[in-house]
Amino acid sequence: MDAVEYCRAKAAPAGSSLHYALLFTEADKREALLALHAFHTEVGRVVAECSDRNVAAAKLLWWQEELTRIFEGGGNHPISQALHTPIRRYRLDRHYFEQMLEGAQMDMQYNLYPSFRELSLYCHRVGCSVASLAVQICGYRDQRVFDFAHDLGTALQLTRFLRNVRRDAAQGRCYIPEAEMRGAGVNPRDLRRSTTSEPLRRLFSEQAERARRFYAQASQRLPRSERWSQRPSVVLAALYRSLLEAMTEDDFPLLERRYHLTPLRKLWLAWRSAHARQRYRKPG
């Protein structure tokens, strides 16, 4: 398996949302985005996949050192190899990669975030950084597109938190602010039950509404002139918004099931979003 295929298997296997988001992207940009999201996935799952905190800390330290090697044109990891060309070709900002590592380190500090202030910082480091790097890969002319990346990165993270709430709870983690759980009369232990209580449904609904606001802000902040270049992110937003609405329509039975869109639904949403030319201004 070569480096690109490793990244595809890690971040965008067949049937995944990212797989469909990249279907209508130029080949060179698709490979760059695969490498970017593979890095995001790899470092983002370190703490969750390591039961020993010392092992997790050692792995994150290794990736910090590997990041230096990557930007010097070295590194032996398949993801490192896949990132060499994109970093050079698109002049990717190292700061954003460092932010992703800092976000992963926050998972060493928090099993439960006290308020949205702390959680929003986590979203900024983990979600907004990868969205901003995607902007650099896809190309832009208007700096305002980074405001779009910030709001979209936050919205995507908030949607993932809801979708994975049961899995995260089983691993001893929660990405719903403690203060908001307490205000809803919910205990973190409730997330490990087999059925979703009414207080939990209301709490999930509030979290979904927050994500919905960030999607709306992202859409408003994406300059019309940049919609064509940022098609992968536009498609990804459409897929995750549809997932959010599916959870909402069912009134959030998130402890009973983990939500997925069907492949046919994903393909239709991706095609429709990528080909909505009335919303795009193709570069001339």
From first to last of the 284 residues of the chain, give the pLDDT tens digit. 799 999 999 999 999 999 999 999 999 999 999 999 999 999 999 988 888 889 999 999 999 999 999 999 999 899 999 999 999 999 999 999 999 999 999 998 888 999 999 999 999 999 999 999 999 999 999 999 999 999 999 999 999 999 999 999 999 999 999 999 999 999 999 999 999 999 999 999 999 999 999 999 999 999 999 999 999 999 999 999 999 999 999 999 999 999 999 999 999 999 999 887 544 444 44
How many Å separate Cα 135 from the centre of its chain? 14
Residue 112 β-bridge partners: 174
Question: Residue 214 falls within a domain, yes or no?
Answer: yes
Q: Which CATH number do you get for residue 199?
A: 1.10.600.10
What is the number of domains present in the chain? 1
The pLDDT, as a whole number, for residue 280 is: 43
Q: Tell me which amino acid residue 100 is.
A: M
Question: Residue 222 falls within a domain, yes or no?
Answer: yes
The pLDDT, as a whole number, for residue 283 is: 47
The pLDDT, as a whole number, for residue 275 is: 83
The pLDDT, as a whole number, for residue 52 is: 87
Distance, in Å, from the CA atom of 22 to the CA atom of 24, rounded to the nearest integer, reads 6
The pLDDT, as a whole number, for residue 248 is: 98
HEC secondary structure over 213-264? HHHHHHHHHCCHHHCCCCHHHHHHHHHHHHHHHHHHHCCCCCCCCCCCCCHH
Place of tokens 């999607």: 215
Question: Residue 284 falls within a domain, yes or no?
Answer: no
The pLDDT, as a whole number, for residue 187 is: 93
Q: Among 239, 212, 189, which Cα is nearest to 21's?
A: 239
Tell if the pTM clears 0.75, that is, is over it.
yes
Instruction: Show the DSSP H helices in the chain as ranges.
Output: 3-11, 17-21, 27-44, 46-49, 53-71, 78-90, 94-109, 116-123, 129-138, 145-163, 165-170, 178-183, 198-221, 231-249, 263-274
Question: Residue 159 falls within a domain, yes or no?
Answer: yes
Question: Residue 141 falls within a domain, yes or no?
Answer: yes
What residue numbers bound the domain in which 193 lies? 3-279
Six-digit token string for 213: 């606001």
Question: Residue 96 falls within a domain, yes or no?
Answer: yes
